[in-house]
Structure 1
Amino acid sequence: MNGELVLQSLIPTLQPWWPTIIVIGEITGFFMIVSGLIKSASKHDRSTANVLWSIVPGLILVNFLSFMDTLAQSFFSSASATGLGYTPPGNDPTSLYIQFAVYVVMLVGAAGVVQGAILLKRAGEDGRLVGTALTHLVGGVFGVNIVMFATTLANSMGPTVAGAVARLMGTH
């Protein structure tokens, strides 16, 4: 079995992971919000900071796609990817490899955003995690929007690099 056949069978199996990661993030966010509300009602731990460190990351995850869209608009002036819908240019065998790589990076980026929000909640207890959490959040947004990120990066490097990336990614 050659590489192209393996990728042709693997790419469709990646599609269901996108909504799965989104739903896991939304459910986790819901429980973070509930946890924050319980903390706010508790007589032992009514610190506003602790409550906010639970509720804000929960709101990020409950509004996952809107959050991604907001950051993508800030970084790229374009809407965020809402699924694994990238179609590579051309019909040559390398386009399968590019599509597979883009899908994997997008999935890892979505998981990174979820991990970043979880770390942000934990940062309420350990302030050293704030930088790691923000890195996961921003890196996840770049991962989900890898095509826009690569195009923006290439455009800032000059016309030769921009042309090469445009041909590779199919963005003109």
Structure 2
Amino acid sequence: MALTSKISLYDCQWPLGFLAEKDRIAKGFGGELVAIHHVGSTAVSGLAAKPEIDLLVVVSEHRGEAARNAFMSTLGYVRGSDLSVGHHFYRRDVDGVRTHKVHVCTGGHEQIGRMLRFRDLLRQDGDLRQQYQDLKLRLEASNRQGIGEYLAQKAPFIAAVLERHPQ
């Protein structure tokens, strides 16, 4: 079973894609918007990645969810299952290919720090970046059950890195 998209070499257009999408989605969060960050592998220069732009939207609180869901739908997003309490998820596919993922977390949610810290560690450490890239390519090559398997197999590596580098 395939992943949501194939891992490809780093593309210097990814940060520009983030900026364009950031501007598009910011309008849907109004006064609750605190910040929007580029996270995930496309946010790390030089790192091979599934070409899916990950955005982390930090909000002061989750309010007006029906209106937000409707707005995101106008941009082509589908609301997925909540990943945890206070962590909402949206995905956008174009012609059957995943292009964007939006994580919406309330300020102080533990995932905010985890996503930003892991991204920053990968940006700062070339050896770590290479280890992570090698792992992702191995997991893609051996994947049989799709994205859930891929994410589950990456999780121990990410957890170990974050444990070695506490805030």
Q: What TM-score does the superposition give when structure 1 sets the normalisation length?
A: 0.33
Give the structure with the larger strand fraction.
2
Q: What TM-score does the superposition give when structure 2 sets the normalisation length?
A: 0.33
Give the structure with the larger helix fraction.
1
